[in-house]
Structure 1
Amino acid sequence: MDYKIFRAINRLVGRYPSVDTIMVMISQKARYVYTLLLILMWFRNKFYKKITIQATFSAGITLLINFFIKQFYFRARPFLNHNAHILPPIPSRMNSSFPSKHTMLSFAVATSILFYKRFLGCFMWLLAFLTGFSRIWSGQHYPSDIIGSAVIGSLTSIVINVIVWLWNSFVLCIVQSYNRACAFVKLR
């Protein structure tokens, strides 16, 4: 089934040159959109800095997860096992098809932003989806690689968001307890 879906998408390569160009552009340049967005968010205010830090941290953890998965699991890329149409950039190293680093990072950052800014997060999720789709279109990954990478990237951001929420709640509880204790001492 995975290969059938891959073939259904990948066989369209070459039929629509303008779509091929867009897919190559998304595959190669989407990461710059994410980087530019995070830089712009960093210079807005404290709230956006918090989002930027959390998204960057999620991306960093996602890179570590990607590294460890690739150390222990190998799946040949589609163009190595099948007669697939391939668009640039052709990987210089024939590394594992799963996970897709592009897709994992895109979904990690998009999910982190989605927690705080719905409209912007939805736009980034759409761009993340197109990033994953472009990787299938260009013959780099199977659909299951993209789905798995999207899940891992999103789950990483969800876990980090929960940890940050718990930590902030813990710190707030301690600060409030301290303030109550100080107020009680002053009343005596």
Structure 2
Amino acid sequence: MELLQINHSLFRFINDLGKQFPSLDPIIIFIAEYLAFILAFGVIIIWFTRHRQHRRMIMSALIAFFLAEILGVIASSVHFNNQPFYELTNVNQLITHEVDNSFPSDHTILFFSFCLTFWLFQRKGGWMWISLAIGVGISRIWVGVHYPFDVAAGIILSTFAAMIAFQFTTRLLVVDKVLIFYEKLEQRIFPNLKKKDSQQQHNNGKTTHV
């Protein structure tokens, strides 16, 4: 069976699940369309916990995402296909989407760049993040806007980018220097946070010596 046939067959299998289980469609639509906003909100919350390792993780995820997007642009110049709802008949299209090159899946790149980075930094419970990213990829097929190979390409590119970014942010001293510079700048803009941070460090020190 040719790759194109495999791609179409896998798409039909997943996309037809929306016809078989229509009660799940609202949940899938939410995951496919709006979960990105929750991810963005979560990233902001994590950043402002003011924990340096958390900020290193977010910085790594952002680098991974931008690198994966660049790789995605290169990949899209090599291969082109429109969305399934435009190319195929009887597609169960659940969300509106403009017609353009759907290869690779940008949503998959976004979620795998961040979620895989979170897993690299926090292995304990990290599979929750991987499961979330996989769920987003499947949802984009379910709603009819991406082929499985679009999603697979997004996974491969973002995985490569996340591994590179992880090595960069955990091994190079320049990352620490950037974070320290930012923290000093933040303390000047929000001086009250400095006292809060100092008190928290003091409390942590007391706890450590108990």
RMSD in angstroms over aligned alpha carbons? 2.0
Residue 68 (structure 2) aligns with: 62
Residue 186 (structure 1) aligns with: none
Matched residue type, 2:16: R
Q: State whether structure 2 residue 6 is matched by structure 1 residue 16.
A: no
User: Which residue, 113, 120, 125 being the options, matches 1:115?
Assistant: 120
Deviations 1:17-42 (A, max 9, x none): 22111111000112122212211111
Matched residue type, 1:35: A
Counterparts of 1:54 and 1:163, CA distance in 2: 8
Counterparts of 1:49 and 1:162, CA distance in 2: 15
Kindly tell me the number of residue pairs found equivalent between the two proteins: 168
Q: Is the 8 A contact 1:79 1:139 kept in 2?
A: yes
* Matching of residues 38-49 of structure 1 within 5 Å: 38-44=43-49, 45-49=51-55
Counterparts of 1:18 and 1:119, CA distance in 2: 33
Residue 136 (structure 2) aligns with: 131
Matched residue type, 1:117: Q
3-state SS in 2 of match to 1:139: coil
Residue 6 (structure 1) aligns with: 11
Identical positions, percent: 24
Deviations 1:77-120 (A, max 9, x none): 211221111111x212x111210000011101111111111245
Matched residue type, 1:46: R
Deviant stretches of 4+, over 3 Å: none
Matched residue type, 1:19: L
Task: List runs of 5+ in structure 1 lacking aligned partners.
Answer: 172-188
Output the TM-score relative to the length of structure 1. 0.81
Counterparts of 1:103 and 1:132, CA distance in 2: 5
Q: Deviation at 1:144?
A: 1.5
Residue 79 (structure 2) aligns with: 73
Return 32-41 or 42-51, whichever deviates more: 32-41
Q: Is the 8 A contact 2:72 2:157 kept in 1?
A: no
Counterparts of 1:120 and 1:28, CA distance in 2: 25
Residue 39 (structure 2) aligns with: 34
Counterparts of 2:141 and 2:78, CA distance in 1: 23
Counterparts of 1:119 and 1:25, CA distance in 2: 27
Matched residue type, 2:133: A
* Matching of residues 168-187 of structure 1 within 5 Å: 168=173
Counterparts of 1:66 and 1:5, CA distance in 2: 22
Task: List runs of 5+ in structure 2 lacking aligned partners.
Answer: 1-5, 177-210
Residue 86 (structure 1) aligns with: 93
Residue 57 (structure 2) aligns with: 51
Counterparts of 1:79 and 1:19, CA distance in 2: 20
3-state SS in 2 of match to 1:91: coil
Residue 182 (structure 1) aligns with: none
Counterparts of 2:92 and 2:159, CA distance in 1: 29
Q: Is the 8 A contact 1:113 1:120 kept in 2?
A: no
